[in-house]
Amino acid sequence: MKKIAIYVCGEISERCTANGCLRAFNDRADSFEVYGPEATGLVAFGSCNGCEQDPEGALYSKLEKFLKAEVDTMHLSTCIRGRCDHYEAFVKILSKNFDVIGYTHGSQEGRKKYHIDEEKILS
């Protein structure tokens, strides 16, 4: 079974139910379409601690838990992609341990501020 985790924006999560992310996962739609009929399980769900709470350090502090959950692929949420200045840093941190998909729901291109530029991030 492919083990999946979702990481969402802490500020948005104060007013979001994660319905868009979870609906896409349950329907294997949008970013989750890549799994097709393959067995997948959502084994972890985390949120950033907040813009003023050392976002990258907070992610590092949660890495051990994601590793313990044996996550294979981490999806950064569409809200992080759309608004977060740490998006590329998050991708870089997570890529050392997991496959990373840079959004959850909506289109692959989206109305995003960022996208995963693998050459830039992984260099």
- Helix-then-strand count for the chain, H and E: 6, 4
Establish if 75 lies at the interface with ligand SF4 (CB under 6 A). no
Establish if 18 lies at the interface with ligand SF4 (CB under 6 A). no
Residue appearing with tokens 């985390």:
46
> Helix 55-68 vs helix 87-95: angle between axes, to the nearest 10 degrees?
30
CB of 13 to ligand SF4, least distance (A): 8
Binding residue for ligand SF4, selected from 5, 18, 71, 80, defined by CB under 6 A: 80
Residue with Cβ nearer ligand SF4 (40 or 77): 77
Alpha carbon separation from 89 to 3, 42, 71 (Å, rounded): 22, 23, 19
Q: Are strands 40-47 and 73-76 parallel, antiparallel or unpaired?
A: unpaired
Establish if 102 lies at the interface with ligand SF4 (CB under 6 A). no
Establish if 21 lies at the interface with ligand SF4 (CB under 6 A). no
DSSP, res 30: G
Please state, as a whole number, how many other Cβ atoms lie within 10 Å of the Cβ of residue 16. 15
Query: Candidates 32-40, 60-68, 80-88, 105-113 — which segment interacts with ligand SF4 by CB under 6 A?
Result: 80-88
Distance CA 57, CA 29 (A): 31
Binding residue for ligand SF4, selected from 4, 10, 91, 106, defined by CB under 6 A: 10
Establish if 82 lies at the interface with ligand SF4 (CB under 6 A). no
Binding site for ligand SF4 (CB under 6 A): 9-11, 48, 50-51, 55, 80, 83-84, 86
